[in-house]
Amino acid sequence: MNAIISASELASDLAGTNPPVLLDVRWQLSVAKAAGEPPFDGRAEYAAGHIPGAVYVDLDQELASAPGTHGRHPLPDTAHFGAAMRHAGVSAGRPVVVYDGGQGWAAARAWWLLRWTGHPDVRVLDGGLTSWEGSLETAEPTPAEGDFTPEPGAVDLLDADGAAALARTGVLFDARAGERYRGEVEPIDRVGGHIPGALSAPTNENVGPDGRFLPAEQLAARFKSLGATEGSGVGVYCGSGVSGAHEVLALAVAGIPAALYVGSWSEWSSDPERPVAVGPDPQ
Protein backbone atom coordinates (compact mmCIF):
# COMPACT_ATOMS: atom_id res chain seq x y z
CA MET A 1 0.00 0.00 0.00
CA ASN A 2 1.24 3.47 -0.88
CA ALA A 3 1.96 5.61 2.18
CA ILE A 4 0.68 8.79 0.51
CA ILE A 5 -2.45 9.76 -1.39
CA SER A 6 -3.06 12.56 -3.88
CA ALA A 7 -5.86 15.09 -3.49
CA SER A 8 -7.70 13.67 -6.49
CA GLU A 9 -7.45 10.14 -5.12
CA LEU A 10 -8.72 11.36 -1.76
CA ALA A 11 -11.72 13.06 -3.37
CA SER A 12 -12.55 9.80 -5.15
CA ASP A 13 -12.19 7.75 -1.98
CA LEU A 14 -14.38 10.14 0.01
CA ALA A 15 -17.13 9.61 -2.56
CA GLY A 16 -16.77 5.82 -2.39
CA THR A 17 -18.50 3.15 -0.36
CA ASN A 18 -15.86 3.00 2.40
CA PRO A 19 -14.60 6.57 2.79
CA PRO A 20 -11.53 7.08 4.98
CA VAL A 21 -11.52 8.70 8.38
CA LEU A 22 -9.97 12.16 7.89
CA LEU A 23 -7.64 13.62 10.52
CA ASP A 24 -6.54 17.28 10.40
CA VAL A 25 -3.24 17.69 12.27
CA ARG A 26 -2.28 21.26 11.50
CA TRP A 27 0.73 22.25 13.61
CA GLN A 28 3.89 24.30 13.43
CA LEU A 29 7.02 24.25 15.55
CA SER A 30 6.71 27.11 18.03
CA VAL A 31 9.91 29.03 18.53
CA ALA A 32 9.85 32.15 20.68
CA LYS A 33 9.99 35.29 18.53
CA ALA A 34 11.57 38.52 19.74
CA ALA A 35 8.73 40.44 18.15
CA GLY A 36 6.20 38.62 20.33
CA GLU A 37 4.50 36.82 17.44
CA PRO A 38 1.63 34.69 18.78
CA PRO A 39 2.08 30.93 18.58
CA PHE A 40 0.48 28.98 15.77
CA ASP A 41 -3.05 27.86 16.64
CA GLY A 42 -3.90 24.71 14.71
CA ARG A 43 -7.40 24.44 16.14
CA ALA A 44 -8.21 27.99 15.03
CA GLU A 45 -6.93 27.19 11.55
CA TYR A 46 -9.09 24.06 11.52
CA ALA A 47 -12.16 26.02 12.68
CA ALA A 48 -11.64 28.53 9.87
CA GLY A 49 -11.94 25.79 7.25
CA HIS A 50 -11.13 22.10 6.82
CA ILE A 51 -11.81 19.27 4.40
CA PRO A 52 -15.43 18.16 4.95
CA GLY A 53 -15.65 15.47 7.60
CA ALA A 54 -12.14 15.96 8.97
CA VAL A 55 -11.61 15.77 12.74
CA TYR A 56 -8.95 17.94 14.38
CA VAL A 57 -6.12 16.18 16.23
CA ASP A 58 -3.79 18.16 18.51
CA LEU A 59 -0.19 17.03 18.01
CA ASP A 60 1.09 18.34 21.33
CA GLN A 61 -1.82 16.97 23.38
CA GLU A 62 -2.78 13.75 21.56
CA LEU A 63 0.27 12.65 19.56
CA ALA A 64 2.86 13.27 22.29
CA SER A 65 3.18 13.29 26.05
CA ALA A 66 4.52 16.21 28.08
CA PRO A 67 8.08 17.41 27.32
CA GLY A 68 10.75 16.09 29.66
CA THR A 69 13.88 14.00 29.82
CA HIS A 70 12.71 11.96 26.82
CA GLY A 71 12.49 15.01 24.56
CA ARG A 72 10.06 17.68 23.47
CA HIS A 73 7.56 15.28 21.89
CA PRO A 74 7.85 11.92 23.67
CA LEU A 75 5.58 9.06 22.77
CA PRO A 76 2.02 9.60 23.97
CA ASP A 77 0.47 7.40 26.62
CA THR A 78 -0.95 4.48 24.64
CA ALA A 79 -4.35 4.56 26.35
CA HIS A 80 -4.66 8.32 25.84
CA PHE A 81 -3.67 8.04 22.19
CA GLY A 82 -6.11 5.21 21.61
CA ALA A 83 -8.96 7.14 23.20
CA ALA A 84 -8.19 10.19 21.05
CA MET A 85 -8.16 8.10 17.89
CA ARG A 86 -11.42 6.33 18.74
CA HIS A 87 -13.01 9.71 19.54
CA ALA A 88 -11.94 10.84 16.06
CA GLY A 89 -13.69 7.82 14.55
CA VAL A 90 -10.64 5.66 13.86
CA SER A 91 -11.40 1.96 13.48
CA ALA A 92 -9.11 -0.91 12.49
CA GLY A 93 -11.27 -1.85 9.51
CA ARG A 94 -11.55 1.61 7.98
CA PRO A 95 -8.80 3.49 6.13
CA VAL A 96 -7.37 6.69 7.59
CA VAL A 97 -6.02 9.74 5.74
CA VAL A 98 -4.08 12.38 7.65
CA TYR A 99 -3.25 15.89 6.47
CA ASP A 100 -1.79 19.12 7.78
CA GLY A 101 -1.28 22.60 6.39
CA GLY A 102 1.17 21.44 3.74
CA GLN A 103 4.53 20.95 5.43
CA GLY A 104 3.75 17.31 6.06
CA TRP A 105 5.61 16.94 9.36
CA ALA A 106 2.60 16.78 11.69
CA ALA A 107 0.64 14.52 9.35
CA ALA A 108 3.63 12.18 9.18
CA ARG A 109 3.80 12.05 12.98
CA ALA A 110 0.17 10.87 13.11
CA TRP A 111 0.82 8.44 10.25
CA TRP A 112 3.83 6.96 12.03
CA LEU A 113 2.04 6.61 15.37
CA LEU A 114 -0.93 4.86 13.79
CA ARG A 115 1.42 2.50 11.95
CA TRP A 116 3.52 1.87 15.07
CA THR A 117 0.38 1.00 17.02
CA GLY A 118 -0.84 -1.40 14.37
CA HIS A 119 -3.33 0.40 12.11
CA PRO A 120 -3.22 -1.44 8.76
CA ASP A 121 -4.33 1.32 6.38
CA VAL A 122 -3.19 4.90 6.92
CA ARG A 123 -1.92 7.42 4.36
CA VAL A 124 -0.82 11.05 4.28
CA LEU A 125 -2.35 13.58 1.89
CA ASP A 126 0.58 14.53 -0.34
CA GLY A 127 0.99 18.31 -0.24
CA GLY A 128 -1.47 18.69 2.63
CA LEU A 129 -4.41 21.05 2.66
CA THR A 130 -2.78 23.32 0.09
CA SER A 131 -3.16 20.54 -2.50
CA TRP A 132 -6.91 20.15 -1.86
CA GLU A 133 -9.03 21.73 -4.60
CA GLY A 134 -12.44 20.85 -3.19
CA SER A 135 -14.63 22.82 -0.85
CA LEU A 136 -13.93 23.40 2.84
CA GLU A 137 -16.32 23.44 5.76
CA THR A 138 -16.29 25.09 9.18
CA ALA A 139 -18.76 22.79 10.94
CA GLU A 140 -17.10 20.35 13.33
CA PRO A 141 -18.25 16.77 12.69
CA THR A 142 -19.21 14.32 15.44
CA PRO A 143 -18.08 10.94 14.12
CA ALA A 144 -19.27 7.67 15.55
CA GLU A 145 -16.83 6.24 18.11
CA GLY A 146 -14.17 4.09 16.50
CA ASP A 147 -12.89 0.73 17.70
CA PHE A 148 -9.13 1.14 17.18
CA THR A 149 -7.05 -0.40 19.97
CA PRO A 150 -3.36 0.52 19.79
CA GLU A 151 -0.87 -2.34 19.89
CA PRO A 152 2.60 -0.73 19.91
CA GLY A 153 5.51 -2.33 18.10
CA ALA A 154 4.19 -2.88 14.59
CA VAL A 155 7.13 -0.91 13.15
CA ASP A 156 10.64 -0.36 14.50
CA LEU A 157 11.35 2.23 17.20
CA LEU A 158 14.76 3.41 18.37
CA ASP A 159 15.84 4.68 21.78
CA ALA A 160 19.03 6.66 22.41
CA ASP A 161 21.24 3.58 22.75
CA GLY A 162 19.71 2.00 19.65
CA ALA A 163 20.27 5.17 17.63
CA ALA A 164 23.91 5.35 18.74
CA ALA A 165 24.46 1.71 17.78
CA LEU A 166 22.75 2.06 14.40
CA ALA A 167 24.95 5.06 13.55
CA ARG A 168 27.88 2.62 13.76
CA THR A 169 26.40 -0.55 12.28
CA GLY A 170 23.90 0.78 9.73
CA VAL A 171 22.64 4.15 8.57
CA LEU A 172 21.25 6.84 10.89
CA PHE A 173 19.85 9.89 9.11
CA ASP A 174 19.58 13.31 10.76
CA ALA A 175 16.50 14.93 9.20
CA ARG A 176 17.12 18.46 10.53
CA ALA A 177 18.48 21.38 8.52
CA GLY A 178 22.16 21.08 7.69
CA GLU A 179 23.20 24.02 9.83
CA ARG A 180 21.69 22.39 12.92
CA TYR A 181 23.37 19.08 12.10
CA ARG A 182 26.71 20.86 11.80
CA GLY A 183 26.13 22.71 15.07
CA GLU A 184 26.34 26.16 13.49
CA VAL A 185 23.01 27.18 15.03
CA GLU A 186 20.72 25.63 17.62
CA PRO A 187 17.56 27.64 18.26
CA ILE A 188 15.86 25.18 20.60
CA ASP A 189 17.98 22.54 22.28
CA ARG A 190 20.77 22.71 24.85
CA VAL A 191 23.63 22.24 22.41
CA GLY A 192 24.12 22.04 18.66
CA GLY A 193 25.59 19.21 16.61
CA HIS A 194 24.62 15.64 15.83
CA ILE A 195 24.84 12.06 17.06
CA PRO A 196 28.31 10.76 16.18
CA GLY A 197 28.14 8.71 13.00
CA ALA A 198 24.80 10.14 11.84
CA LEU A 199 24.47 11.36 8.25
CA SER A 200 22.88 14.68 7.31
CA ALA A 201 19.72 14.17 5.20
CA PRO A 202 17.44 17.22 5.59
CA THR A 203 13.83 16.17 5.15
CA ASN A 204 12.98 19.32 3.19
CA GLU A 205 15.07 17.90 0.33
CA ASN A 206 12.55 15.07 -0.06
CA VAL A 207 9.87 17.37 -1.46
CA GLY A 208 9.52 19.70 -4.42
CA PRO A 209 8.63 23.42 -4.38
CA ASP A 210 4.93 22.50 -4.10
CA GLY A 211 5.52 20.55 -0.89
CA ARG A 212 4.74 17.22 -2.52
CA PHE A 213 7.13 14.30 -2.30
CA LEU A 214 9.59 13.74 -5.11
CA PRO A 215 8.88 10.66 -7.24
CA ALA A 216 9.65 7.38 -5.52
CA GLU A 217 12.55 6.57 -7.81
CA GLN A 218 14.21 9.93 -7.07
CA LEU A 219 13.79 9.42 -3.34
CA ALA A 220 15.22 5.92 -3.60
CA ALA A 221 18.22 7.23 -5.52
CA ARG A 222 18.78 9.98 -2.95
CA PHE A 223 18.74 7.65 0.03
CA LYS A 224 20.87 5.03 -1.68
CA SER A 225 23.45 7.69 -2.52
CA LEU A 226 23.54 8.51 1.19
CA GLY A 227 24.21 4.91 2.14
CA ALA A 228 20.79 3.29 2.55
CA THR A 229 21.69 0.20 0.56
CA GLU A 230 19.75 -3.06 0.49
CA GLY A 231 20.20 -4.97 3.71
CA SER A 232 21.44 -2.01 5.75
CA GLY A 233 19.51 -1.04 8.87
CA VAL A 234 18.12 2.49 8.51
CA GLY A 235 16.99 4.89 11.22
CA VAL A 236 16.00 8.55 11.41
CA TYR A 237 16.01 11.26 14.05
CA CYS A 238 15.34 14.99 14.03
CA GLY A 239 14.72 17.55 16.79
CA SER A 240 11.81 15.88 18.55
CA GLY A 241 10.42 13.07 16.42
CA VAL A 242 8.19 15.13 14.12
CA SER A 243 10.18 16.04 11.00
CA GLY A 244 11.95 12.69 11.45
CA ALA A 245 8.60 10.98 10.95
CA HIS A 246 8.33 12.86 7.66
CA GLU A 247 11.68 11.40 6.59
CA VAL A 248 10.53 7.91 7.59
CA LEU A 249 7.49 8.56 5.39
CA ALA A 250 9.74 9.63 2.50
CA LEU A 251 11.76 6.45 2.96
CA ALA A 252 8.53 4.42 2.89
CA VAL A 253 7.57 6.09 -0.39
CA ALA A 254 11.00 5.06 -1.68
CA GLY A 255 10.40 1.48 -0.54
CA ILE A 256 12.96 1.60 2.28
CA PRO A 257 11.78 0.63 5.79
CA ALA A 258 13.24 2.78 8.57
CA ALA A 259 13.02 3.07 12.34
CA LEU A 260 12.31 6.36 14.12
CA TYR A 261 14.19 7.67 17.16
CA VAL A 262 11.30 9.58 18.70
CA GLY A 263 13.32 11.27 21.47
CA SER A 264 15.67 12.60 18.79
CA TRP A 265 18.09 15.47 19.40
CA SER A 266 15.96 17.04 22.13
CA GLU A 267 16.44 13.89 24.23
CA TRP A 268 20.00 13.11 23.15
CA SER A 269 21.35 16.62 23.79
CA SER A 270 19.65 16.95 27.18
CA ASP A 271 22.14 14.49 28.67
CA PRO A 272 25.62 16.08 28.94
CA GLU A 273 27.14 12.59 29.17
CA ARG A 274 26.16 11.74 25.59
CA PRO A 275 28.76 12.55 22.91
CA VAL A 276 28.13 15.33 20.39
CA ALA A 277 29.74 15.70 16.96
CA VAL A 278 29.90 19.03 15.10
CA GLY A 279 30.79 20.04 11.57
CA PRO A 280 30.04 18.25 8.29
CA ASP A 281 31.93 15.07 9.22
CA PRO A 282 29.54 12.42 10.61
CA GLN A 283 32.14 11.46 13.26
DSSP classification of residue 11: H
Q: Is 19 a catalytic residue?
A: no
Cα separation, 131 vs 110, in Å, equals: 19
Determine contact, residues 149/92, Cβ cutoff 8 Å.
yes
The number of beta carbons lying within 10 Å of the beta carbon of residue 55 is 21
Please identify which of the residues 21, 57, 124, 238 carries the catalytic annotation.
Answer: 238
- Count of positions (residues) in the chain: 283
How far CA 151 is from CA of 57, 59, 78, 92, 114, in Å, comes to 20, 19, 8, 11, 9
- How many CA atoms are closer than 13 Å to the CA of 282, on its beta-carbon side? 16
Q: Chain centroid to CA 180: how far?
A: 18
- Which residues are CB-neighbours of 265 under 8 A, at least 6 positions away? 174, 176, 180, 189, 194, 195, 237, 238, 239, 240
User: What radius of gyration, in Å, describes the C-alpha atoms of the chain?
Assistant: 18
Closest to 157 (Cα-Cα) out of 74, 226, 222: 74
Residue 220 per-residue DSSP state: H
Question: Could you give the count of Cα atoms lying within 13 Å of 8 in the half-sphere of its Cβ?
Answer: 0
CA distance 180 to 23: 31
Residues with catalytic function: 238
